[in-house]
A and B are shown apart, each in its own frame.
Chain A
Amino acid sequence: MKILVAVKRVVDYNVKVRVQADHKAVELANVKMSINPFCEIAVEEAVRLKEKGVASEIVVVSIGPKGCQETLRTALGLGADRAVQIETEEGVDSLAVAKLIAEVAKTELPDLIIMGKQAIDSDNNQTGQMVAALLDMPQATFASEVVVENGEAQVTREIDGGLQTLAITLPAVVTTDLRLNEPRFIKLPNIMKAKKKPLVVKTPEELGISISSNVSVLSVVPPAERQGGIKVGSVAELVEKLKNEAKVIA
């Protein structure tokens, strides 16, 4: 079977982001960018399914400026077979991204679409669910275990009260939670091989998809600063402060 994996290029998770002086957005110039951690887990899961003989081909897709070709090369280095970039400016909203991925899926006809549960920049947690809706496929979000057999996927999901297992009929969409797997390190020879793997570039126009959005960002500001407080010398002093100064315990 074929697996389609969507990956996003985001500010590296270790970077302390700064808001632009004009309060229009977060500073992205000269900031280290990486593959979104949840997307990396999605690629790893697809590669593991291929290693188990469940999947035969892995196609990765990314939407954004030229820089996301690097992200696609990372995914190819992890073990994906070929890549599709849909070239756009920064800041395409989740619905437009979902429409583009759904359109790619209509030609690629994957049996499984794996995506991260959320991107660590916009923190939306929407795209996988939207892709599933647009393709009228079942979904299993926040997956911590995926078993594919007999034309369905049994997926264990992380929910608020604990874990839930669903069986969804393929083709289907799965979004990954952090505990699904630990992505491998890419070895140098695989980076070299990844450079030779096919990567095609398309545009939203070619796919016939409008990426205009009805949502506009009016401002982006830093959160209210929290002042560091005081250090106390002992447990007794701590309890005294919590009772009499902060008054949060009786």
Chain B
Amino acid sequence: MSILIIAEHDNANLKPATLNTLAAATQIGGDVDVLVVGSDCQAVAKQAVQAQGVTRVLLADNAVYEYQLAENISKLVIELSSAYSHILAPATTTGKNMLPRVAALLDVAQLSDVIKVESADTFVRPIYAGNAIATVQTSDTVKVITIRSTGFDPVSAEGGNAELVTLSQVIESQKSRFVGEELAVSDRPELTAANIIVSGGRGMGSGDNFKILDGVADKLGAAVGASRAAVDAGFVPNDLQVGQTGKTVAPDLYVAVGISGAIQHLAGMKDSKVIVAINKDEEAPIFQVADYGLVADLFEAVPELENAL
């Protein structure tokens, strides 16, 4: 068996989700190749070479791949596919965008958001916003799978010694072009990789009020997240959203502040090790999953918490 992983990166750094995906691949077994496709992304390939468990790093470095558009990258993956029994990508927005296109071109099904490997053809994935867990078996010749990073502990980013292979194929994307992007900037740890997350919900009342979470987050070295209600109300940008339609997280500590705990939100965070809820409504569903609940006005409790840390 041979496995191809499509690396998640921003042309400068290999993203941690790739290391979680490598862990899943290791459980499937067989040689693991990592495809780094982008523009001016030599540094990413070097990082991939050092990751544990990688046999070869395939580098496709060309300006046409700069924004990782699904249209041409899927065709590149298809050209490589005949050598592989499994094609994996992290279940990030990039992976989710690209991989079903690969699957359809190969005329095979795709398994999304896999959280557990049972065997080389049997996998576990959540359905219904995480309210049911399905075990599925596929007889497709090539198994195309996105991996939920929180389901697998990452492999070490160091100590590997893969062979670096440079690919020459250049496939242009003719019908899709990049116009612009607005990326949120933050000094804090990345949401999906943070050990501690402090999240705010509708109870925060306004975007300005989110600043009171910053003090706590800074003291804990935590990332700041948000519920869909807070994002929809325009308090914070959508890339902070935790939930079924946002990011899935599983930190050691998740502090939910002013979040009621709708199913949609729980789907994104209920695998956290310890959950703390601060909410003035003691009937809020979040208390049913919280290890420690504090019924209090968040505008008093949060500054008090900051001082206590």
Contacts and interface: CB of A to CB of B under 8 A. Distances in A.
Contact of A178 (B74, B245, B305): B245
Contacts of B129: 120, 123
Given A129-B70, A217-B135, A228-B287, A177 B97 contact: no
Interface string B19-37: 0000000000000000000
Given A160-B92, A169-B176, A235 B109 contact: no
Contact of B128 (A121, A139, A228): A121
A162 B100 contact: no
A178 B264 CA distance: 12
Contacts of B276: 238, 242
Contacts of A179: 231-232, 238
Interface string A234-250: 11101101100010110
Interface of A: 11, 13, 16-17, 19, 26, 93-95, 98, 117-118, 120-134, 137-142, 144, 154, 157-169, 172, 177-179, 213-223, 226, 228-232, 234-236, 238-239, 241-242, 246, 248-249
9 contacts: A142-B97, A160-B92, A162-B184, A165-B181, A218-B137, A223-B130, A228-B288, A229-B275, A246-B274
Interface string B296-309: 10000100110011
Contact of A154 (B71, B135, B179, B291): B179
B101 interface: yes
Interface stretch (B49-57, B110-118, B161-169): B110-118
A95 B109 contact: yes
Contacts of A11: 128
A160 B247 contact: yes
- For chain A, what secondary structure do more than half of its interface residues adopt (helix, strand, loop), or is it mixed? mixed
Nearest to B309: A239
B244 A215 contact: no
Nearest to A155: B179
Given A93-B109, A166-B179, A26 B132 contact: yes
Given A231-B295, A248-B252, A123 B108 contact: no
B292 A162 contact: no
A235 B301 contact: yes
B81 interface: no
Interface in B135-175: 135-140, 173-175
A131 B103 CA distance: 11
Given A121-B127, A165-B181, A222 B132 contact: yes
B111 A215 contact: yes
